[in-house]
């Protein structure tokens, strides 16, 4: 199964990035989410009560983030298992960019299912997965629209320049060394 699309979010890019990584926001916006726990800065544990055609199942799984380039892009891998429905695994690439005083979130999800979930067939899984993504973004957009707009944080200050080119005394010391060497070779050779 593969889903690729983009959504416009009514908030700044850095606010959208922060919200997409916030377990409380994700738990609020993800349909059927029972709990999301952030174990490390790049690992989440997820419990979902999902309903697919003919299957009502509990899933537990892990989401691992990688290739984080805040606030521009990330990749993630996920795995979920449920005793009644089987398993689901996949990857996603997410890209954020400024657009029309908001943020464009482009995503590509590739997933596979096993067990009873796979028996439903790819067209039904794709339809159910698409609806879940649509509901997530509808909830996420509503959540972000209710947040006050914050301007991006200022860039970090430039580090102080270092090295010979930026120190007057370094040049004086280098000049003294050159004069001593030239004088030595001129007078004693």
- The second-level CATH assignment, the architecture, of 2-146 is 2-Layer Sandwich (3.30)
What would the pLDDT profile of 149-173 be if each residue is shown by its tens digit? 887 777 778 877 665 555 666 666 6
Tens-digit pLDDT profile for residues 49-77: 887 666 777 889 999 999 999 999 999 99
> What is the mean pLDDT of the segment spanning 13-18?
96
pLDDT in tens, 99-119: 999 999 999 999 888 887 777
DSSP secondary structure string for all residues of 12-69: -HHHHHHHHT-HHHHHHHSTTEEEEEEEETTEEEEEEEEEETTEEEEEEEEEEEEEEE
Cα–Cα distance measured from residue 175 to residue 23, given in angstroms and rounded to the nearest whole number:
60
Domain ranges for the chain: 2-146
Helix (H, G, I), strand (E, B) or coil at 17: helix
In this prediction the pTM is 0.78
Highest mean pLDDT among 20-29, 126-135, 164-173: 20-29
% of the chain surpassing 90 pLDDT:
54
How far apart, in whole angstroms, are the C-alpha atoms of residue 163 and residue 171?
10
């Amino acid at each position: 199964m593969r889903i690729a699309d983009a959504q416009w979010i009514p908030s700044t890019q850095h606010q959208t990035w922060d919200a997409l990584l916030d377990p409380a926001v994700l738990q609020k916006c993800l349909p059927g989410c029972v709990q999301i726990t952030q174990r490390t800065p790049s690992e989440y544990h997820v419990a979902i009560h999902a309903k697919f055609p003919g299957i009502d199942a509990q899933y537990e799984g892990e989401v691992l983030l990688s290739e984080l380039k805040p606030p521009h892009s990330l990749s993630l891998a996920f795995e979920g298992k449920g005793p009644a429905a089987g398993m689901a695994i996949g990857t996603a690439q997410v890209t954020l960019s400024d657009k029309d005083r908001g943020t464009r979130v482009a995503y590509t999800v590739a997933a596979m299912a096993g067990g009873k979930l796979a028996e439903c067939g790819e067209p039904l899984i794709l339809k159910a997965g698409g609806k879940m993504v649509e509901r997530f973004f509808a909830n996420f957009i509503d959540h972000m629209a209710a947040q006050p707009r914050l301007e991006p944080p200022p860039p970090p200050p430039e580090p102080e320049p270092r090295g010979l080119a930026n120190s007057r005394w370094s040049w004086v010391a280098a000049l003294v060394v050159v004069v001593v060497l030239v004088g030595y070779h001129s007078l004693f050779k």
